[in-house]
Amino acid sequence: MAIFGASILSFVFLRLAPGDPAGLVLGPFATDAARARLTAEMGIDKPVPAQYLTYMHELLSGNWGYSYSIGQSVLELFASRLPATLELGFSALLFAFVSALILSLVKTYTKRRLVKNTINVFCYGAYSMPQFFLGILLLIVFSTGLGVFPGPEGRTRFPSYSLPRITGFLIPDSLIAADFPLLLDALWHLVLPSVTLGLYSMAFLARILGANLSSSYREKYITVSLSHGITDWQALVRHALPNALVTSATAAAVLVGILMTGTMLVETVFAWPGIGSLITSSIQKQDFSVVQAFIFFSAFVFVVCNLVIELLITKIDPRLGIHAVKGSGDE
């Protein structure tokens, strides 16, 4: 239902946007006959309901459309750019999870009010920082100012490289091919975009995990564990943390949606050749097929990730899984 609703809203709003998609593709010197011919070819001369029915039929048939601004099918565009976006998204998610885990453990374990307040302020700041502003700020400080990290050069400074296409991802393929200069350069280019994309998710996850960890640490089984002679840190990591991770698992599915939509601005700032930068340019050119496919794809990924998380929670703790499934169904 969520996927169907997203497809309708995206289709209607894109059609209501001002501008002439055919005129943007052909340019300002195109004749009226050429513009009318392309308009008919794109199917935007029909009523909106008829356009939507045609669009859904083609989409469900495996035809995601054709990008007239680039001259390539949307499915081929997504296939060529998806590995770059997934590498960025996975690295940002890894950074967010590890950082949130460390911050939540330190905040729960420490007795110093200054440390707790510092972590809270840092998380609130990261939570409210616009990603495009953070990316530009990091580039100014660490690239232009200090020269530590590369600028907006994309995935690597090497203009052309030849790797055996085994996984389709730059980092695993360079590792398999033992091309260590390319591997290190790709990892170095990944640092600033990953931090930019993952900082918001880190703050989001740290707040949820920290609250669940603090709640679990106050349970009676922690007191029983401490009475058996283990230290506070051991009780926190061995007993409180696993329960807090289970109750925080649903946040991981939300983070996937956040990371998916956040790649648009981050990839544009860092000239990252992924789906996000493709969508940004497609919006400017009113390339309906690409934008609609991205929204449909994002909604599908979001729903699938939520479903997978719910099934995993059901396997780990049936009580939490049943409660979560009922809650999502009530919504």
Q: What is the pLDDT of residues 11-42, one digit of tens each?
A: 777 776 666 677 666 767 778 788 788 778 77
Higher pLDDT, 212 or 251: 212
For 299: left if phi > 0, alpha if psi spans -120 to 50, otherwise beta; the answer is alpha
- Integer Cα distance of 296 and 163 in angstroms: 32
In contact, 137 and 146? CB cutoff 8 Å: no
Say whether pLDDT at 162 is over 80: no
Mean pLDDT of 232-250: 80
In this structure, what is the dihedral angle of CA atoms 316, 318, 323, 329, given to the nearest 10 degrees? 90
Return the pLDDT at 238. 81
Higher pLDDT, 234 or 194: 194
- Integer Cα distance of 79 and 75 in angstroms: 6
- Integer Cα distance of 123 and 204 in angstroms: 8
Residue from 272, 300, 55 nearest 152 by CA: 272
Half-sphere exposure of 303 (CA within 13 A, CB side): 13
Task: Tell me the domain boundaries of the chain.
Answer: 2-63, 82-330
Return the pLDDT at 159. 66
- How do residues 273-319 score in pLDDT, each as one tens digit? 888 888 888 887 778 788 888 888 887 877 787 777 777 767 766 55
- How do residues 114-147 score in pLDDT, each as one tens digit? 999 999 999 988 888 888 899 999 999 999 999 8
Residue from 95, 93, 77 nearest 259 by CA: 93
pLDDT confidence tier of residue 227, bands split at 50, 70 and 90: confident
Question: Which positions ≥6 away from 40 have C-beta within 8 Å?
Answer: none
For 67: left if phi > 0, alpha if psi spans -120 to 50, otherwise beta; the answer is beta
Higher pLDDT, 248 or 291: 291
* Tokens (6 digits) for 95: 């950074």
- The yes/no answer on whether domain 82-330 falls in CATH 3.40.50.300 is no
Question: Which positions ≥6 away from 115 have C-beta within 8 Å?
Answer: 106, 107
pLDDT confidence tier of residue 323, bands split at 50, 70 and 90: very low
Q: Could you please report the per-residue DSSP string of 235-301?
A: HIIIIIHHHHHHHTHHHHHHHHHHHHHHHHHHHHHTT--SHHHHHHHHHHTT-HHHHHHHHHHHHHH
Q: Reduced to 3 states, what is the DSSP secondary structure of residue 129?
A: coil
Return the pLDDT at 19. 67
